[in-house]
Structure 1
Amino acid sequence: MSVQSEQSRRHRVVVIGSGFGGLFGTQALKRADVDVTLIARTTHHLFQPLLYQVATGILSIGDIAPATRLILRKQRNADVLLGDVIDIDLEAQTVTSRLLDRTTVTEFDSLIVAAGSGQSYFGNDQFARYAPGMKTIDDALELRGRILGAFEEAELSDDHEERARLLTFVVVGAGPTGVELAGQIAELANRTLKDAFRKIDPSEARVILLDGAPTVLPVYGGKLSANATSRLEKLGVEIQPNAMVVDVDAEGLVVKDKDGTERRVDSQCKVWSAGVQASPLGKQLAEQSGAEIDRAGRVHVNPDLSLPGHPNVYVIGDMMALDKLPGLAQVAMQGGKYAAKQIKATVAGQPVESRQPFKYFDKGSMATISRFSAVAQVGKLEITGFVGWLMWLVVHLMYLVGFHSKFSTVLSWTVAFFSRGRGEMAVTEQQVFARNAIEHLHDYERARAAEQLGDPTAVETGEERERAAG
């Protein structure tokens, strides 16, 4: 175990997470009289809103995930540590992180917790094996392999039913991510892959969008939801509202409709974009501080984003629950900047009582349906079609980090939107099956540990547990 304890007298700030909240909070402290340590489980800053474009071959990983160290290399008061945070001790003011077999303890005077969220399967985590989410680069690469691999397998099959199953793509969750992904899979099948196969017609692929809500994009509603529905249907997407997924396996899923009847949808490629769950660090913070957490694991914070009873600890982004703020990138960005401002005020000697509450400035929200078509909501203004799509392009390009990412993304968009090509269509078998291989490795390690500890019940593998549950 190593201990990261600066001998400097300067105020020590630890930031957990390299997402929008963590990165923007760190950058906002660039000229402050503090030392910042950013701890993250990945080496990159992920622009998550464009992850679906990696999954459908439009963008490369480098376009949306620049290295955090390179972003911060000119910020001399910032240090970056790679590791998964496993413990936060509020009393001792330390953060414990782990990378492989190395454990690191980092001390802090102020703490910004921006560890984000993961996919929620609403208590059915076993669904993840057959229906990956859309939260990480690994998810996107795996999905790209599964999507393109389904077309390749269908080309090899002479069985009509098998082909139908292989060419049926199901997206669970009709929020912005689900809508964007369904639209891009449809465009991939109808446009990009046209004439690329000899035995199958990719345009015969079924793209099904399921959601328990009665409409797509329920957070928008009204005109925008209706416009998105119309555009998706023109692309050939089958929208199935009021449909709850009750089971998922390798060959398909079981859906319960509003009237209570259950039906099966045969599909090899399923994607889960319904629901999020905040980082488990939220539970740790709640247990130590007495703060409440909601059903999604988000921590109820004070109006200044601080943890109750701990004015030097800020919880931001997808981890915080305050005034029903949505889990958007803008909320995390503004929260990170606000927390940095309060830390600078603390260093300057200003009392906690003088803090002004966090006020979120809503810059609007948007979702792209297909090329040349998007929906956007800015205040009471609702925009659809080509104008909405242009707004979507500008806004997303603006928030990409680094000139290289912006330039490369523009080139990739030009190819994808103004021709039939996509620059990232290569996939490997390893990308598709790596998740299962890693799960089996973890099972093996747990089994070895259990044998050494004399705990026979822990020797079960993942497959054995599934068979037992079934």
Structure 2
Amino acid sequence: MTAHRVVVIGSGFGGLTAVKELKRAPVEVTMIARTQHHLFQPLLYQVATGILSEGEIAPSTRRILRDQRNARVVLGDVVEIDLARRVVVSELLGQRHQTGYDSLIVAAGAGQSYFGNDHFAQFAPGMKTLDDALDIRARIVGAFEAAERCDDAILRERLLTFTVVGAGPTGVELAGQIAELATRTLKGEYRRIDSTQARVILLDAADAVLPPMGIGLGRKAQARLEKLGVEIELGATVVDVDHDGLTVAHADGTTSRIGSVCKVWSAGVSASPLAAQLAEQAGAEVDRAGRLKVLPDLTVLGHPNVFVIGDMAAVPGVPGMAQGAIQGARYAAKAIRADLKGHCPPLQEPFHCVERTPFRYFDKGSMATVSRFSAVAKVGRLELAGFIAWLAWLLLHLVYLVGFKSKLTTVISWAGTFATMNRGQLTITDRQVFANRPAEIQPPPPDLAADAA
């Protein structure tokens, strides 16, 4: 009798946890992912601002799963899930590959949402992948470099204005780190510009910073950001973005223009297109963010062997955070193990023989760093702010980093940055800086470059 085939889509928190939870189960696990690494997404902003290297937060999934003999990794972008045939179709370099399954766990995550304005992306990238973080790092450092050689005062001001759209945890953390980068790390490194005069602007359509964490912590985070020099505009909706800046509509009905070359978008998420594909086949629904409305046991309507977890699943009371994906993965893996113990043949209909209790999410709290030695955290009714919250944030993230080497190198990088304010990962390449950039950041023509040399 062939082993029960479990396919896991995605190598994030949910996908990796699901695979590891099935280590001792009598199954063959195939992880299909578009990247060959496990990305620790909460620390992407530290890659974007030069604190950490990409390798420290993205270890190889093959290395992580090397000793798990019942698991294999397939690199590819999943383009189709055929529920009727129980087949997953993935694509790599133009070649398609089909993988059959008996049980399926879909943890494909979510991308950035521009609320119907996808053309904003080329001017204000989101931060969901390593490529995004490296691109943003190049935009930030490239803007300082372009300003250093710029003779036009108006253009120089635009180059030294950094705008972050979205005052959730990612936006707050990124704005705070850009401010510290400008006022502390880069201070004194340029001769024609003063990096400490750079403007960092944080925009949000809501009327508070960090809305999910409550008014009190939001105000404390806002006060700390403002102390760093971050300009915060609330009730501000971005209605247009181009390479020169943004147009903002305010709550009072007025509009204004912000001149800014370097812009980052962290407002809103949109679930993987696979959610809509599954909904169409199963006759299920998706919510406004494109997430699939799953059953209480996290399965797709009419398909008890197909689990959807993490950012793709619309589950009341479960936020789109790592903890939701991890707990969902553990639940799905446990359900599969229980079904197998019920002695269900792999293709029996319906698949599960054991009545499942509904998935229950345990809220372990949320937190966000604001600056060096300062963070906010909320665990149940307990609210923390300042140094204690920052220590809690530090320890929690170290716990969830995968691999001893990643933990060790991250601690070393943090120690160097927090003790000296130096950042060892600000190196960028010409390709990163000048690819798809507006004219003001393009390199000089060859003849001018030669003359300058």
Q: Same fold (TM over 0.5)?
A: yes
Cα-to-partner distance string for 1:65-111 (whole Å, 9 max, x where unaligned)? 00111100100000100000011000100000000122110000000
Q: Which of residues 200, 208, 228 is equivalent to 2:193?
A: 200
1:456 maps to none
Give yes or no for contact 1:299–1:321 (8 Å, CA) kept in 2: yes
CA RMSD of aligned residues (A): 1.2
- Pairing 1:104–2:97 present: yes
2:347 maps to none
2:430 maps to 429
- Pairing 1:214–2:207 present: yes
Give yes or no for contact 1:186–1:236 (8 Å, CA) kept in 2: yes
Give yes or no for contact 1:143–1:432 (8 Å, CA) kept in 2: no
Give yes or no for contact 2:13–2:322 (8 Å, CA) kept in 1: yes
| Counterpart residue identity of residue 410, structure 1 | V
Distance 1:60 1:35 in 2: 34
1:311-350 matches, within 5 Å, as 311-349=304-342
2:387 maps to 386
1:395 maps to 396
1:3 maps to none
Distance 1:88 1:430 in 2: 36
Distance 2:264 2:210 in 1: 17
Give yes or no for contact 1:88–1:95 (8 Å, CA) kept in 2: yes
- Pairing 1:81–2:74 present: yes
2:157 maps to 164
Q: Which of residues 114, 120, 143 is equivalent to 1:127?
A: 120
Give the SS at the match of 1:161.
helix
1:447 maps to none
Give yes or no for contact 1:130–1:248 (8 Å, CA) kept in 2: yes
| Counterpart residue identity of residue 237, structure 1 | V
2:376 maps to 375
Give yes or no for contact 2:45–2:174 (8 Å, CA) kept in 1: yes
1:153 maps to 146
| Counterpart residue identity of residue 3, structure 2 | R
Distance 1:390 1:63 in 2: 20
Count of residues paired in the alignment = 430
1:294 maps to 287
Distance 2:331 2:436 in 1: 37
1:454-465 matches, within 5 Å, as none
**In 2 relative to 1, CA 73–64 (structure 1 residues): closer, same or farther, beyond 3 Å?**
same
Cα-to-partner distance string for 1:344-364 (whole Å, 9 max, x where unaligned)? 111111754521111111111
Distance 2:264 2:11 in 1: 25
1:223 maps to 216
2:17 maps to 24
| Counterpart residue identity of residue 223, structure 2 | S
| Counterpart residue identity of residue 270, structure 1 | K
Cα-to-partner distance string for 1:141-183 (whole Å, 9 max, x where unaligned)? 0000000111111111122111111000000000000000000
| Counterpart residue identity of residue 341, structure 1 | K
Give yes or no for contact 2:236–2:248 (8 Å, CA) kept in 1: yes
Distance 2:365 2:430 in 1: 40
Give yes or no for contact 1:211–1:244 (8 Å, CA) kept in 2: yes
Spell out structure 1 runs of 4+ moving beyond 6 A: none
Q: Which of residues 155, 168, 173 is equivalent to 2:166?
A: 173
Distance 2:98 2:148 in 1: 53
Give the SS at the match of 1:32.
coil
2:26 maps to 33
Q: Please report how far the alpha carbon of residue 429 of structure 1 lies from its aligned counterpart in structure 2 after TM superposition.
A: 2.5
Give yes or no for contact 2:249–2:255 (8 Å, CA) kept in 1: yes
Distance 2:433 2:133 in 1: 10
Cα-to-partner distance string for 1:128-152 (whole Å, 9 max, x where unaligned)? 0000001001110000000011111
Distance 1:211 1:112 in 2: 34
Give the SS at the match of 1:304.
coil
Give the SS at the match of 1:355.
coil
- Pairing 1:118–2:102 present: no
| Counterpart residue identity of residue 187, structure 1 | E
2:444 maps to none
1:412 maps to 413
Give yes or no for contact 1:58–1:423 (8 Å, CA) kept in 2: yes
Distance 2:31 2:377 in 1: 33
Distance 1:71 1:237 in 2: 39
Distance 1:103 1:278 in 2: 23
Distance 1:435 1:285 in 2: 35
Stretches of structure 2 that go unaligned for 5 or more consecutive residues are 344-351, 439-453
Distance 1:164 1:221 in 2: 35
Q: Which of residues 257, 261, 265 is equivalent to 2:258?
A: 265
Percent identity among equivalent residues?
A: 65
Distance 1:93 1:432 in 2: 44
| Counterpart residue identity of residue 400, structure 1 | L
Distance 2:434 2:90 in 1: 28
**In 2 relative to 1, CA 405–101 (structure 1 residues): closer, same or farther, beyond 3 Å?**
same
2:355 maps to 354
Distance 1:235 1:436 in 2: 28
2:272 maps to 279
1:444 maps to none
Give yes or no for contact 2:208–2:215 (8 Å, CA) kept in 1: no
Give yes or no for contact 1:24–1:337 (8 Å, CA) kept in 2: yes
| Counterpart residue identity of residue 55, structure 2 | G
